[in-house]
Amino acid sequence: MLVKQRTIAGKASLSGVGLHTGNKSNMTFKPAPVNSGIKFKRVDLENSPEIPADIDHVIDISRGTTIALDGVEVHTVEHVLAAIMGCEIDNIIVELDANEPPVMDGSAKDYVRTLMHAGIVEQDEDRDYLVIEDTVHYHDDKSNVDIVALPLKNDFRITVMIDFQNPALGSQHSGLFNLQEEFAKEFAPARTFCFLKEIEPLIQHNLIKGGRIDNAVVIVDREFESEHEFKEFKKKIKLDDKVKLGTTGVLNDTPLRFKNEPARHKVLDLIGDLALIGAPIKGQILAARPGHKSNVEFTKMLRKLYLQKKIVKKFQMLKSSTGVLDIDSIMKILPHRYPFLLVDRILSIDLEQNKIIGLKNVTMNEPFFQGHFPGKPIMPGVLIVEAMAQTGGILLMHSLENSESKLAFFTTMDNVKFKKQVIPGDQLIFEMEILSTRRGFCRMKGKAFKSYIGGELAAEGEFSVVIVDKQ
């Protein structure tokens, strides 16, 4: 697999109409610097706002994937993202003068052709991957969907099975085993598809305004008692009168580009939605009956895993059962030093739940025991609280851009209670949770336990923190 990040050599454009909005749309791909990722840019709006293409910015998955930031939206991004990922491009700006990319023929082949025309260049920075080391399984019992990520050393493969209980489709499966050799020819040309019964409800929901018989494969899943009934149906959904039901199970007898074109398009959609992780995958993906809803939920799981692993790389975390951040890593994050560094190890970080668990071994060698108190050594409550705050601060720093240039200070402490004395030989476990962060202020709460989580509660409290720039 590729080692270096890639972008495009120059800009390249294409035009058309959006599938659901029907808006005329001009789209231009432009190069982007290393580590910037994929961003959609609305040049038709004031200040040309940019939206990062990641799972945190997904707001709708009803008939495609919509991303948004501060009220600015881009609809149906999955085919564009699939083309970018299929061409193994890491950093790119996708400029649009409308709120939806042009649908073209319903596949990703025109996007791929445009990207290839722009040229692809290597950048002077190593590529970041999400390496699947343990099985990740998503299951939706209601929709009968299963998606699994499995370890696969230094490679990427994806297999999809679909079964819509329709004679024209039957059960289909498709698999991509070599992105460089197979994607452009075998998967990018696979067009989007829908069922005839879906068209009228989609129109009623103000969707598929740009849908045409030549940019989607329509599967016939209903019967008409007469030609007149079908003719009236065509008028109702504004379908060209020349369109016929056909005999192949596909409206107008549109020839398929591949025998299993619908299954291949599901592979395409899944690749596009997985782009929202923010990094390519080293692993094997197996999906049974996936759709955008399940794709996005599965991608959330992988995005969480990716962010965890990204922290591992950034701060050189331990890879052992005893913790994820050792003292050397902690000292890269916190400015505190002896005798005021009061966290020895981070046991776990959950970025999705904004929770962290830290540890401090309390020994007789602590300097504060000399005076607190002679002959009766007890850890000062204010230092227990400080250790809790330091643990929470480690989590807080991961949520900030340019955290190296920031400092965090207490502003208030509420509901602080000390329950048990902490003495030499104890081990403190800190369980901290960030409740909110807004405009330089953070609210967190936490508990300190003696010996283990759920053990004797030593202290608890709620804290407000202000985040400032280092001078």
Q: Which residues are designated catalytic?
A: 292, 372
Judged on CB neighbours under 10 Å (0-12, 13-18, 19+), 52 is middle
**Cβ–Cβ < 8 Å for 310, 128:** yes
Q: What are the Cα distances from residue 255, in Å, to 170, 195, 219, 221, 346?
A: 17, 16, 12, 17, 58
Q: What are phi and psi of 270, to 5 degrees?
A: -65, -40
Other CB atoms within 10 Å distance of the CB of residue 428: 25
Looking at residue 373, its amino acid is: F
Looking at residue 221, its amino acid is: D
Q: For residues 391 and 428, what is the distance between their CA atoms, to the nearest angstrom?
A: 12
| Residue 117 neighbours by CB under 8 Å, 6+ apart | 12
Length of the chain: 471
Closest by CA to 19, choosing from 209, 189, 152, 304, is: 209
Q: What are the Cα distances from residue 144, in Å, to 108, 140, 256, 454?
A: 27, 6, 27, 37
Instruction: Tell the residue number behind the tokens 């050594």, with chain if given.
Output: 377
Q: What are phi and psi of 56, to 5 degrees?
A: -70, -15
Lookup: tokens for 387? 């250790």
- What is the per-residue burial (b if ≥16 Cβ within 10 Å, else e) of 243-266? eebeeeebbbebebbbebbbbbbb
